[in-house]
Structure 1
Amino acid sequence: MAERLICLPDRVVALKFRQTSSDILNDLLINLDKGNKENLNNLHKCCGSFKQKNLIEYAFMMTEELGLDPLVGYHAVELLQRFMVRRVWDCLATPTAGGAAGDEPASYEDAIFDRLKDNFPLIIFSSVQLANKLFLHSHKIHINAAVLFLRSIGVRASKQTVLESELMVFKGLEFNLNVPNPLTYVEVLLEVLGYNEPDVPIENLYQRCLNVLQFVTLERTAIYEALLRVTTQSVSPSREQREKFVTVTEDCMLLGVGVIAVATFICLFQDWEEVVEELSHITGISMRSIKDFFHVALMHIISSPEEI
């Protein structure tokens, strides 16, 4: 995939595209597709519950303030989602974790969330820490810097507490940090697109893709709700339709091609149709699905032009 250049923490990480051989690109694409399908086949019924806008903004803010690669922020969101779903599910399955045995279910659930919310900022930070350790080009967050940063956002935590929180999240993820990351899909797809279509200015397109991906990620609830209605051709989709649609909301490959399609329309309108056709060819995703995602995302961007 595109080569990341090591840089100072307060600078954006630069990418050099067109540096990867076709064989490696092919293997990367196959592995991403396999990982995406495995993830979609093993989705928890509560997936997406912790991808609310305010939580994503919090993770992105931490990533930016610490001078980390944007890739870290997106990965941290995925780790946080998986950890919290597992943690809440485990708490709900353990009666002694809540109040008394005679408590009403609603009160019991409220007690669980009240207990978790006190540590939530630290859990998000631990997710960022773990995501950062996956990428060798990112600078290390030293424990002293971690404590000072947490203090700057109103979180009082000792060095021991920070370490224990990171270990807790790591264990909660069953030591598996290798999860689909939407920005990785965008970058690999751009690299493949640049290889197949040498005239497409991938480097310029990449920056716009970052803007579009951030917007779509933050506005995911509204965008996917609109896409659900388009897909089902219903203003009030049924519960069954919503349950089936969850795989669409977690499909990183679809998100990647959709983001590139929107960015191409903004930057290279004259090449848009050709690029969408090539993306469909690369991924096997139908032109119809790409265009549906494109139209919904673009309409939301147009209604909020200051965001892009």
Structure 2
Amino acid sequence: MMEKKATGSHFNKDVSSSLSREHQNLKFGEAPFNILREFLTNLNDTNIHNLKNLSAFCGNFKDRRLVECVFLICDELRLDPLAGYQAIEILERFMTKHLEDLFCIPIPADEGQQGNIGDSVFIKLSKKFSLLVFSCIQLASKLTLHCNVIDNNTALKFLRSMGHSYSKETLLESELLILQTLNFCISFPNPLMYVETLLEVLGYNDVTVPILQLYSLCRHVLQFAYLQRKSLYHSLLVSATDCPSPSEEQRMEFAAVTEDCMLLSVGVIAAGAFILNFKTWEQVVDELRYITGISAKSIMEFAYILLSHIVKNETPVKSF
């Protein structure tokens, strides 16, 4: 099913030179084409690099309950949706590295007698996990210039409303732990970045596509896909293997598909285009194929499965 995509992105170069003007605090639809071209190429390169260097724990911290919690906190604090996706990316990378570090720390003899290393690590994390999740959201808010930034006063007030009591010093220590663990590198590409960039390029290549309407719809579709991540990719795996109960080996081999942000993004856009106007969606799929190098078959199959989950889902998706 999922055919290997090309290693580079392709673009329609017939763009007016007037698009090269400089912008500050760019919003969706305002980026000059030359910037989009470079940005999408970088996103594609990053995606390929990430897929070649997957952790054995990838996806473990994208559980629906955790993702929904992050989205709801961002909604309550009136953050841009971008901050929510960024926070999840920060959290997953931090927790993966932090767990590796914790399992390398020798366990004191008295603790070792009470349980195994896993139990000790779980106890340590359970005491501060809620704060770590919130710190990831707070850090994500600081990366997004056009959204609200959560300062410590706002953070403490919100945490108190949730029944947690922390000091400003504890908040700073939590943020510092995350930053140090990730070597102060927290600006990771997230799925919404891919969707937004692809849509902007699509808008330049095909002016007949109602990009603003499609963008609004794709934000909801992406949120749905993220919340239904486990069942969505299970359906994709079943379709790819033609096996209702895929083996553990097949699941491990399929991990690269579950972490492919470019594939997720074209699938989301294609599904959104189908909902918006099914008569022209094949035209959108063909343009996405041209831009990314992903086969039309793979894009359509992802979109069909995503659409089938949307139709079957009985619980409305809470939007930002």
Q: How far, CA to CA, are the matches of 1:202 and 1:97 in structure 2? A: 58
Any idea what SS the aligned residue of 1:31 has?
A: helix
Deviation at residue 114 of structure 1 after TM alignment: 2.5
Q: How far, CA to CA, are the matches of 2:308 and 2:108 in structure 1? A: 45
1:175 aligns with 2:217: no
Deviation at residue 171 of structure 1 after TM alignment: 1.1
Match of 1:96 in 2: 107
- CA gap of 1:16–1:180, structure 2 versus 1, over 3 A, is closer
Q: Output the amino acid matched with 1:72.
A: A
5 Å-filtered alignment, 1:156-235, equals: 156-235=165-244
1:249 aligns with 2:258: yes
Q: Output the amino acid matched with 1:131.
A: A
1:239 aligns with 2:268: no
5 Å-filtered alignment, 1:2-21, equals: 15-17=27-29, 19-21=30-32
Cα RMSD between the aligned structures?
Answer: 2.2
1:144 aligns with 2:173: no
Q: How far, CA to CA, are the matches of 1:301 and 1:206 in structure 2? A: 17
- Of 276, 296, 311, the residue aligned with 1:302 is 311
Match of 1:275 in 2: 284
Contact 1:98/1:108 (8 A) holds in 2:
no
- CA gap of 1:146–1:100, structure 2 versus 1, over 3 A, is closer
Q: How far, CA to CA, are the matches of 1:89 and 1:124 in structure 2? A: 18
1:259 aligns with 2:275: no
Structure 1, residues 249-283: CA drift from partner, whole Å, max 9, x if none?
11110011010011111111111111011101100
Deviation at residue 138 of structure 1 after TM alignment: 2.0
The two structures have a TM-score, normalised by structure 2, of 0.87
Match of 2:52 in 1: 41
Match of 1:61 in 2: 72
Q: How far, CA to CA, are the matches of 2:202 and 2:110 in structure 1? A: 55
5 Å-filtered alignment, 1:77-116, equals: 77-96=88-107, 100-101=111-112, 107-116=116-125
Q: How far, CA to CA, are the matches of 2:198 and 2:109 in structure 1? A: 46
Structure ranking higher on relative contact order (CA contacts 8 Å, 6+ apart)? 2
Alignment length (residue pairs):
297
The percentage of counterpart residues that share the same residue type is: 46
- Of 85, 91, 101, the residue aligned with 1:74 is 85
1:287 aligns with 2:296: yes
Structure 2 portions without partners, runs of 5+: 1-18
Q: How far, CA to CA, are the matches of 1:306 and 1:197 in structure 2? A: 34
The two structures have a TM-score, normalised by structure 1, of 0.91
Q: Output the amino acid matched with 1:239.
A: E
Match of 1:25 in 2: 36
Any idea what SS the aligned residue of 2:280 has?
A: helix
Deviation at residue 94 of structure 1 after TM alignment: 2.4
- CA gap of 1:4–1:20, structure 2 versus 1, over 3 A, is closer
Q: How far, CA to CA, are the matches of 1:191 and 1:305 in structure 2? A: 32
Q: How far, CA to CA, are the matches of 2:241 and 2:81 in structure 1? A: 34
Contact 1:79/1:177 (8 A) holds in 2:
yes
Q: How far, CA to CA, are the matches of 1:125 and 1:98 in structure 2? A: 32
Match of 2:137 in 1: 128
Of 107-116 and 24-33, deviating more is: 107-116
Q: How far, CA to CA, are the matches of 2:64 and 2:118 in structure 1? A: 22
Deviation at residue 240 of structure 1 after TM alignment: 2.2
Deviation at residue 95 of structure 1 after TM alignment: 3.3
Q: How far, CA to CA, are the matches of 1:240 and 1:210 in structure 2? A: 33
Q: How far, CA to CA, are the matches of 1:97 and 1:134 in structure 2? A: 39
